[in-house]
């Protein structure tokens, strides 16, 4: 297995590490952020490792990754007179870890926070790397800052609280790491699919891959952009459907669709062979159901990519594959090309 740095603890002992951190003399008040799902399913598993604390709960779901939810958190911190020695423990999936990290990073110019990711997506991706943020006006992660947590405590036991759809959503980010940086893992480990008994090695390798990339480019000025493979088209698709009542999809489902679209764009430019494209499509469709939209929506979806954070002015910058296991960032693509990739995906 690849090594992760000391800021990340993976395994059943990770909650003991959390307990140790919160017993340090420099720790003031402890606040624990959950959502309406994790307070019921995960908080009870964690409670005995926590000192006296204040529980803060926000509604569950991407639609609540907003400034309104941040205000709820900031209000609780303010009402309890939290000072800069306070620690916020974020217990949940990507919404909770992103939003909680952002709230901590901005409250009184920054208090410390610890991530306790409870979904596969958060364990392999969202909680690691220091990105925090919220959605704004329907656009994904439009407001945020870079701020590293004190620690990330990853206990795979929490995955037993997930349904199959949530587990698969996180698996999309695992596959993304293979496609951009580990061709050998894609060739061998995809044979198992999501029927995995012990997630710890998968989580550790995925976290190590991300940490290696982030360490080389912590503020996403260059290499770190490869981690956005699948996300230019994926975020546009996710944002569009988030605004359509009853049609919301999970982040990983959008990323899986985005990876197919961006793999096709890679093939169109001669960077990816037809055989490689077929292997990516075949595998992703063996795990993920097709995201449903109609052809007449493709232009409207593609237009949303103009808001992508990787853009330079009016140029949409995308990450494409230069063969499986190698990614190229800052590849300019057009709204028309994105729409064409979505129409290709729709025809499959």
pLDDT value of position 235: 96
C-alpha separations of 23 from 109, 110, 148 in Å: 23, 20, 20
Q: 8-161: what fold? A: Rossmann fold (3.40.50)
Q: Which residues contact 340 (CB under 8 A, 6 or more apart)?
A: none
pLDDT value of position 325: 98
Q: Which residues contact 271 (CB under 8 A, 6 or more apart)?
A: 320, 321, 322, 323, 328
Beta pairing, strands 30-35 & 327-333: unpaired
Query: Which residues, in sequence order, are bridge partners of residue 322?
Result: none
pLDDT value of position 193: 77
Active site (catalytic) residues: 109, 131, 173, 210, 220, 224, 228, 231, 235, 251
Please report the sign of the dihedral spanned by the C-alpha atoms of residue 47, residue 49, residue 51, residue 57: negative
- Residues of the chain under the 50 pLDDT cut: none
pLDDT value of position 314: 82
CATH 1.10.287.1060 fits 164-347, yes or no: no
pLDDT value of position 209: 96
Q: What is the average pLDDT value for the chain, to the nearest integer? A: 95
3-state DSSP assignment of residue 7: coil
137, 3 in Cβ contact below 8 A? no
233, 257 in Cβ contact below 8 A? yes
Could you give the angle at the alpha carbon of 220 between the alpha carbons of 136 and 261, nearest 5°?
70
- Give the predicted TM-score (pTM) of the model: 0.93
Domain with CATH 1.20.1090.10 in the chain: 164-347
Domain with CATH 3.40.50.1970 in the chain: 8-161
Quick one: which of 250, 310, 262 has its CA closest to 63? 250
Rg for the chain, CA atoms, rounded: 20
Q: To the nearest 10°, the Cα dihedral for 123, 127, 131, 137?
A: 80
Round to whole Å and give the CA distance between 145 and 219. 10
pLDDT value of position 189: 87
pLDDT value of position 305: 95
C-alpha separations of 71 from 76, 135, 294 in Å: 9, 14, 37
pLDDT value of position 221: 92
Give, for 338, the enclosing helix (H) or strand (E).
Answer: helix 335-347
């Amino acid at each position: 297995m690849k090594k992760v740095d000391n800021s990340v603890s993976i395994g059943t002992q990770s909650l003991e590490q959390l307990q140790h951190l919160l017993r340090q003399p420099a720790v003031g008040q402890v606040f624990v952020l959950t959502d309406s799902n994790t307070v019921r399913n995960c908080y009870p598993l964690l409670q005995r490792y926590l000192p006296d604390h204040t529980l803060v709960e926000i509604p569950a779901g991407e639609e609540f990754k907003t400034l309104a939810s941040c205000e709820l958190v900031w209000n609780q911190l303010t009402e309890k007179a939290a000072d800069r020695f306070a620690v916020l423990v974020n217990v949940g999936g990507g919404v909770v870890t992103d939003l909680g990290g952002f709230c901590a990073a901005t409250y009184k110019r920054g208090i410390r926070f610890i991530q306790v990711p409870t979904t596969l997506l958060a364990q392999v991706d969202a909680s690691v790397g220091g990105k925090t943020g919220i959605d704004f006006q329907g656009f994904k992660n439009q407001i945020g800052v870079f701020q590293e947590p004190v620690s990330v405590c990853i206990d795979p036991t929490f995955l037993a609280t997930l349904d199959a759809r949530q587990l698969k959503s996180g698996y999309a980010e695992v596959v993304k790491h293979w496609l951009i940086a580990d061709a050998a893992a894609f060739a061998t480990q995809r044979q198992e699919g999501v029927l995995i008994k012990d997630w710890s090695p998968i989580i550790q390798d995925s976290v190590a891959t991300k940490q290696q990339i982030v360490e080389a480019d912590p503020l996403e000025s260059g290499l770190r952009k490869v981690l956005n493979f699948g996300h230019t088209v994926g975020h546009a698709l996710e944002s569009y459907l988030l605004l359509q009542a009853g049609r919301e999809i999970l982040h990983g489902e959008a990323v899986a669709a985005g990876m197919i679209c961006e793999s096709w764009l890679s093939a169109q430019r001669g960077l990816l062979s037809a055989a490689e494209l077929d292997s990516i499509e075949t595998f992703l469709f063996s795990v993920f159901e097709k995201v449903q939209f109609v052809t007449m929506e493709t232009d409207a979806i593609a237009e949303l990519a103009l808001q992508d954070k990787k853009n330079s002015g009016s140029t949409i910058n995308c990450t494409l594959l230069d063969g499986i296991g190698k990614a190229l960032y800052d590849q300019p693509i057009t709204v028309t090309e994105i729409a064409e990739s979505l129409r290709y995906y729709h025809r499959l």
